[in-house]
């Protein structure tokens, strides 16, 4: 699976808005809900199972990176089970990543700097580049 920063932004936004449970209910339904971000993001994609794998894979990245808390992903027979606890939320790291992804100027400069340096845009790279880019933007 290739990491998709837009999908990570969508997931983080739903955690922040406290609509992540509805997001996953929507993902499992046969039709997308009217005002859900996945509708637009996933529009035109034919293979729903592939979409689910993408979303679950990206949720797993957020869980492993400790960007979200009180949510788990468990493999089940031919499916993945998402367990959402009563205290589901973004962590501080999750809020920081969401803020960086939302800022068009900051995010653009992070991608540009990463490309100039010839390094892959990973979560570790972002942690290093965001403070550097912010310092340059503030000059």
Least confident among 36-40, 54-58, 61-65, 100-104 = 36-40
Asked whether the beta carbons of 106 and 98 are under 8 A apart, the reply is no
**Residue 87 confidence (pLDDT):** 95
Q: Any residues with CB less than 8 A from the CB of 23 and at least 6 apart, and which?
A: 11, 14, 36, 37, 38
The pLDDT tens digits for 76-126 are: 887 788 999 999 999 999 998 999 889 888 888 888 988 999 998 888 888
Among 73, 96, 85, 72, smallest CA distance to 16 is for 96
Mean pLDDT, all residues of the chain: 84
**Residue 58 confidence (pLDDT):** 94
**Residue 33 confidence (pLDDT):** 45
């Amino acid at each position: 699976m290739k990491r998709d920063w837009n999908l990570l932004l969508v997931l983080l936004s739903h955690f922040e808005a406290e609509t992540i449970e509805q997001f996953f209910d929507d993902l499992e339904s046969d039709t997308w809900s009217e005002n859900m971000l996945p509708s637009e993001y996933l529009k035109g994609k034919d293979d729903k199972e592939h979409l689910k794998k993408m979303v679950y894979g990206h949720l797993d990245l957020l869980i492993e990176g400790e960007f979200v808390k009180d949510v788990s992903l468990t493999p089940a027979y031919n499916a993945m089970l998402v367990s959402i606890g009563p205290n589901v939320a973004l962590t501080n790291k999750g809020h920081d990543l969401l803020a960086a992804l939302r800022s068009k100027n900051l995010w653009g400069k992070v991608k540009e700097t990463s490309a100039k340096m010839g390094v892959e845009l990973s979560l570790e790279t972002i942690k290093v580049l965001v403070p550097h880019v912010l310092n340059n933007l503030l000059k």
